[in-house]
Structure 1
Amino acid sequence: MSESQSRFIEDLDAQSTGVPVRVSLSRQTLLKRLADVVCLPESRINAFERAVTADLLVEMLSEAGVEDRARVAKRLSHLTEVPNSLVRRLIIDEVRVARALIEECETLNDSDLSYCARNGGHEHRMLLAARKNLAPILTEILIEQQDVRVIEVILKNTRASLSQMAVEAVVVLSQSQPQLIPLIIKRPEIRPSSAYVMFWWADAEVRRVILSRFAVNREVMQDAASDVFAMAADEGWQDALSRKALQFIERRQRNRAALARSPFDSLDAAIDEAARKGMTRHLAEEISYLAGIKPSTGAKMLRDRGGEPLAVLCKATGLPKASLRGLWQALRRPSQMADGSVHPELEHVLITFDVLATDRAQTVLRYWNWSLSSALSATLIRTLSKGEEVDLDGLTVPERAAMLAFAQDLKA
């Protein structure tokens, strides 16, 4: 019997008795050679030969050391096509093994990367989140894990693409994780619907960004629907769906019908009354009706901690700055400092009023009213008040906005 055969039999005996087997040069060499075979170009090896070799290599890797596995992963990371069995074996291995594949292998498909996202650990997901050209399906899976550090890396990754569902998931999470707000607001994928609802828990700086970047005008919609108003009027405004849409589009903000029923001569007069006597529930409802919004929307705006919604309300309804000061006074908010200067909070709201254009303010106000009142059905209110789980995927965009904005108020 030759020396090599004797050594082979000794190794088999050692395995059967549980004695550690020495890592032989032959094993390391064979691992390298099999990896070389897998890496051969298509002109040298067909798909079946590559697959069989990959299967054998996977079997050997299950007993190989970390350094050997890392060397194989590094070798495979430069392939244009890595056998699936090898990818699945190595991509969720220890991070020092998987790193080369996750960071350097550009030809991995979304299925393999999704497998890593679901079955890998925190460090694997951190590497995936920083990967170039991260597909929307991958960002969705990673964000579903609600690992805040991973989400932060994704949001900072300019080469990652976010789906609308991923954006909305981050917006929801930002209620409890405010550090995500400055990152998500910079993403090109975020839409006005998400920005308008995130407004309610964002800080002053982000609110300023939302009002300047997402407060769009409605000129194109108004031109497109200019003749539809007459059609709807001829039909007696019987179609509820078109009526709501036209209310969002139209130029006039104040409610003439509410004014005809009001004890006040104008919206300005109602605010003056509130400034003199203080804001009451009756006055808040009257101001809301005259401003063309629902009382629930008005209550949300008047209760807001920052005060910017008051600037939006006044600018959208054509009120002067004096009325904004009147609302501020009606809510008993501080207007002056000890030295007689304007209180910083009021000054910030007055600046917001100055920089907002009327039409853009109307867009924001009407979206809030649309989502926070029309979309907030009785069923959704009961669900939220009872603390039941809500299926976000089954809701429309305005319903999701209403659910998020009013959830805390309804549970309080």
Structure 2
Amino acid sequence: MITADSFRALKLKLAGTSGKPAEPLIARPADPPVAAAPVEPPPLEPAESDTAPIVEPVPEVLRLDKPVPAEPAQPRTSAPMAPEQPPAAMPVKSSDPGFVERRVLERPQPEDAEAGIRAHALLDIMAIPTEGSLPQERALANDTLLRLIPRMPLKSLRHLADRVCLMEAPSQMLVRRLINDPRIEVSGPLLEQAVTVDDSDLITVAQGRNPAKLKLIARRRLISPALAEALIQSNDVETLVNLVRNQGASFSIESMWHLTRFAAAHPVLQAPLVTRQDTPSPIAFQLFWRLPSELRRYVLSRFLTDSETITRILTMNRENDGKDRKQADLSLLAKLAQADSREAGEIYARLTHVSAEAGARIADDAGGEALTVALKAAGLTRAQFADVVEKRPDAEALKAIFETLSFNKARVLLTYWDWAARRTGPYARIAAN
């Protein structure tokens, strides 16, 4: 119920009159009902242009049948807050998705014929032994020389690169500047001949995939396994040929497997890889299937041997696999002449006690070397082998291979072939990648 006092207080508040503060509207308990006439609000003063009184509608917020919303709290006057500090910057790595590398390029400068003369004089200062010069002198000479390089003629830069190749301890900043020069006349001598270039700098150059620079790096006198891996990742055939022919290059076993896959697709790599002194026998045995007859016979003669220790190891390998060594069923030989490829694979697998996959690969091989190895491991005599291959055009060559092979040599090669077909053994994970 709206009283006159409450209505007057509201009017003063709306008009902005600074009078006695109005009491908050609080619902009071109802008095006992008394019969009385309803109290009407007092008449409002008429406006100047109106003669009839105007009754303003009661605002919706004053209806007592609805809750009265609380007035918004006035902001308190306090000291200004300090601006929020940004979080500390986190280090950005080159592998982050949002990483953007910014390089500062040198401004092009006009060529100066005298810059080459001054550069060689500065190089003389840098070449003075440490006992005869101060570190500050060598540092200033190095920085001055680096500043002169953009103004040096090509001929002077070539002479400078040749001199740096002969220095025992050149400035790494100078070496890095020269090997990254896009002109092969400048960077080439250092990439191929300088022994003081860090592997990290050479790997960075190799990742640029410049064919001319890759071939020069592959001809270095010594190549570490890490640098060899970077060169292999370039997938450049000419670079890989230079690398495999380089006897001063060192390879990890993973790199050797990568080269094996490349050699399967590019025959030009096969002979250099098989004839390397450090090529492991498993690599040669895996590559055997892709080699021509001449290289196959080279593999059989170089990577296979026979001894009592070999016999013991083969016996332990059979016991580890749970296989009982039995005599081959030579009656199956009569079926080889009429058997198709699938049946021939099954016959070879039963004769040599290997997996069906290895037997199928022997049967599908177009050359006769794999057939010769399998029949030697099956225990055939010279006469029995001659009966099997007598109709082949290369029968005489295969008979010669059969004579040089021993049972243990044939079993060693079959063991590696079987491991590869089963994808088991120490090289299964590497070979599958």
Match of 2:320 in 1: 243
CA distance in 2, matches of 1:55, 1:37: 12
Q: Distance in 1 between matches of 2:239 and 2:287?
A: 21
Q: What is the correspondence of 1:20-39 to structure 2 with a 5 Å cutoff?
A: 21=110, 23-25=112-114, 27-39=115-127
Aligned to 2:262: 173
- Cα distance in 1 for partners of 2:110, 2:269 equals 51
Separation of aligned partners in 1, 2:295 and 2:336: 30
184-193 or 316-325, which deviates more: 316-325
Q: Separation in 2 of the partners of 1:225 and 1:269?
A: 25
Q: Does 1:80 align with 2:157?
A: no
Amino acid at match of 2:428: P
Structure 2 residue 402 is matched with structure 1 residue 398: no
Give the alignment's TM-score, normalised by structure 1: 0.70
How far is the alpha carbon of 1:290 from its aligned partner? 4.0
- Measured in 1, the distance between the counterparts of 2:169 and 2:163 equals 12
Distance in 2 (CA, whole Å) between partners of 1:326 and 1:372 is 29
Residue 331 of structure 2 aligns to a residue in which SS? helix
Task: Answer whether contact 1:268 1:323 (CA < 8 A) is retained.
Answer: no
Alignment pair present for 1:316 and 2:377 = yes
Q: Are 1:365 and 2:414 counterparts?
A: yes
Match runs of 1:191-270 below 5 Å: 191-217=280-306, 219-220=308-309, 222-223=311-312, 243-244=320-321, 255=326, 267-270=329-332
Cα distance in 2 for residues equivalent to 1:157 and 1:185: 13
The aligned counterpart of 2:17 is none
Secondary structure in 1 matching 2:166: coil
CA distance in 2, matches of 1:47, 1:357: 68
- CA shift digits 1:135-177 (9 cap, x unpaired): 3322222222122112222222233333323322221101111
Answer yes or no: is the 8 Å Cα contact 1:217–1:363 preserved in 2. no
5+ long unaligned stretches in structure 1:
1-17, 230-236, 257-265, 329-334, 337-342, 377-395, 405-412
1:35-184 matched pairs, under 5 angstroms: 35-47=123-135, 49-93=137-181, 94-119=183-208, 121-184=210-273
DSSP 3-state at the match of 1:174: helix
- Greater C-alpha radius of gyration: 2
Question: Structure 2 CA distance, aligned partners of 1:167 and 1:19?
Answer: 44
Shift of 1:73: 1.7
Shift of 1:375: 2.3
Q: 1:319 to 1:120 in 2, by over 3 A?
A: closer
Shift of the 189–60 alpha-carbon distance from structure 1 to 2, 3 Å rule, reads same
Shift of the 122–51 alpha-carbon distance from structure 1 to 2, 3 Å rule, reads: farther
The Cα of 1:49 is off from its aligned counterpart by 4.3
Q: What's the C-alpha RMSD, in Å, of the aligned pairs?
A: 3.1
Distance 2:358 2:405 in 1: 20
Name the CA shift for 1:268/1:142 in 2 (closer, same or farther; >3 Å). same
TM-score (norm 2): 0.67
Matched, 1:352 2:414: no
Aligned residue pairs: how many?
Answer: 326
Name the SS of the counterpart of 1:175 in structure 2: helix
Q: 1:364 to 1:22 in 2, by over 3 A?
A: closer
For 1:364, the aligned partner's letter is: L
CA distance in 2, matches of 1:48, 1:327: 83
* Equivalent position SS for 1:351: helix
Using the aligned pairs only, state the percent identity: 25
- Contact 2:108–2:150 (CA under 8 A) maintained in structure 1: no
- Displacement after TM superposition at 1:62 (Å): 2.6
Question: How many Å separate the matches in 2 of 1:51 and 1:316?
Answer: 70
Give me the whole-angstrom Cα distance separating, in 2, the residues matched to 1:206 and 1:183: 11
- For residues 323 and 19 of structure 1, the distance between their equivalents in structure 2, rounded to whole angstroms, comes to 80
Q: Choose between structure 1 and 2 for higher RCO, CA contacts under 8 A separated by at least 6 residues.
A: 1
- Deviation, 1:280, is 6.3
* Native 8 Å contact 2:219 2:242 kept in 1: yes
- Whose helix proportion is higher, 1 or 2? 1
Q: Please say if residues 255 and 291 of structure 1, whose CA atoms lie closer than 8 Å, have aligned partners that are also in contact.
A: no
Residues in 1 aligned to 2:157 and 2:376: alpha-carbon distance in whole angstroms: 65
In 1, Cα distance between the equivalents of 2:353 and 2:285? 19
Structure 2: runs of 5+ lacking an equivalent = 1-106
Gap change, CA 1:92 and 1:219, over 3 Å in 2: farther
